[in-house]
Amino acid sequence: MTPADLSRTVLRAVRRAVEADELRVAVPTSVGVRVPPHPGSGDYATSVALRLAKESGRPALEVAELLRRRLVREPGIDRVEIAGPGFLNITLEGGSGVGLVRQVLSRRDGDHGDHDGAREPLPVRPPDELVRRLGADAARWSVLSPPGLDRKLLLVQREVNPLFRVRYAHSRCRALIRNAHDLGFRPAVEGADEDFGEGAGPLLAALADHPRIVAARDPERLARALERLADAFLRWQASCPTLPRGDEKPSVVHRARLALAEATGTVLADGLHQLGITAPAHL
């Protein structure tokens, strides 16, 4: 389930509660979901109950419990917990992550490369003057960026540069593969989704969303999706060690996490290739 899917699922739960006269509010046009700032708070969180409580005249915790009971029955949702004054912390169901990683890697192996060479790059043609100022890669990313982005940031090798984050995430994936090779083990998905570690849900959701984004053939949409994927990977990798530490021996968990990192690098490289932007293995 992607963030967009989850947003629609939460909105559907609100609509059904209104239709059943359990909640007397105007059904919102959209519902926001986000990755919680702290590990252990589910895969996604939404403040929709707080938003609706004021209009309904009911306590936010009461509205949250009403929606929680509906959401836990939805396919793809494992559990829903109420936090703080009425936030809904949602954990997605497992079971599909292992198959997804295998699918991404099998597509890559069939293409004998880090990207799907069967897809033609999307038409991203920045002005010549912009290419002279920023270089080809940053110029292409610039024309795909939201209005208001300071183009000078695209030349800065820091987190404030979205292109740097995407390319850094790809290079980090490749570095993990190299380091694992030096330690004598390779990526392999042998167990269950739990091997990927807590917090892998948003990363797996972003990977699952890639084929749909690619099918749209929309360069700007693809660029934003690559940012989300890179950010999800960097958050996951910071909290879920991929390589053994000290005298620790490589385990099923390490091999599974390495496979998830390799799948992420494959998708990032594929997306950058389609935008006509290089995906360096070292950065």
How far is C-alpha 184 from the chain's CA centre?
Answer: 29
Q: What residues pair up with 19 in beta bridges, in sequence order?
A: none
More confident residue, 278 or 75: 278
What is the predicted pLDDT for the residue at 103? 84
User: Which one is predicted more confidently, 12 or 149?
Assistant: 12
Between the CA of residue 83 and those of 33, 90, 262, what are the distances in Å?
14, 10, 34
CB under 8 Å to 142, separation ≥6 — which residues?
126, 130, 134, 149, 151, 154
Domain edges within the chain: 3-92, 97-274
Task: Quote the mean pLDDT of the chain.
Answer: 88
Q: Are 237 and 200 in contact (CB under 8 A)?
A: no
Q: Which two tokens stand for residue 160?
A: 């404030």
Q: How large is the average pLDDT for residues 99-119? A: 64
d(CA 69, CA 9): 13
Phi, psi of 81 (to 5 degrees): -120, 145
pLDDT over 80 (residue 94): no
Best CA proximity match to 70, nearest among 39, 106, 31: 31
- Residues in Cβ contact with 260 at an 8 Å cutoff, skipping those fewer than 6 apart: 97, 101, 196, 200, 203, 204, 236
Highest mean pLDDT among 107-116, 187-196, 242-251: 242-251
Which CATH class for the 97-274 domain? Answer: mainly alpha
> Is pLDDT above 50 for 257?
yes
Domain 3-92 fold is Gyrase A; domain 2 (3.30.1360)
Cα separation, 117 vs 111, whole angstroms:
7
**Is 149 a residue whose pLDDT tops 90?**
no
pLDDT for the residue numbered 110: 52
The residue assigned the tokens 């899917």 is 5
**Cβ–Cβ under 8 Å, residues 4 and 206:** no
What is the mean pLDDT of the segment spanning 192-206? 84
Find out whether 161 and 153 touch, Cβ atoms under 8 Å.
yes
pLDDT in tens, 221-250: 999 999 999 999 999 999 999 999 988 999
Residue 114 has pLDDT above 90, yes or no: no
CA distances to 57, 65, 166, 217, 263 from 268, rounded to whole Å, are 46, 38, 7, 16, 9
Element containing residue 114 per DSSP (H, E) = none
Can you say whether residue 85 is alpha, beta or left, with left for phi > 0 and alpha for psi between -120 and 50 degrees? alpha
Give me the pLDDT at residue 40, please: 65
Whole-number Å distance between alpha carbons of 24 and 56: 6
Least confident of 156-170, 195-209, 262-276: 195-209
pTM for the whole structure: 0.71
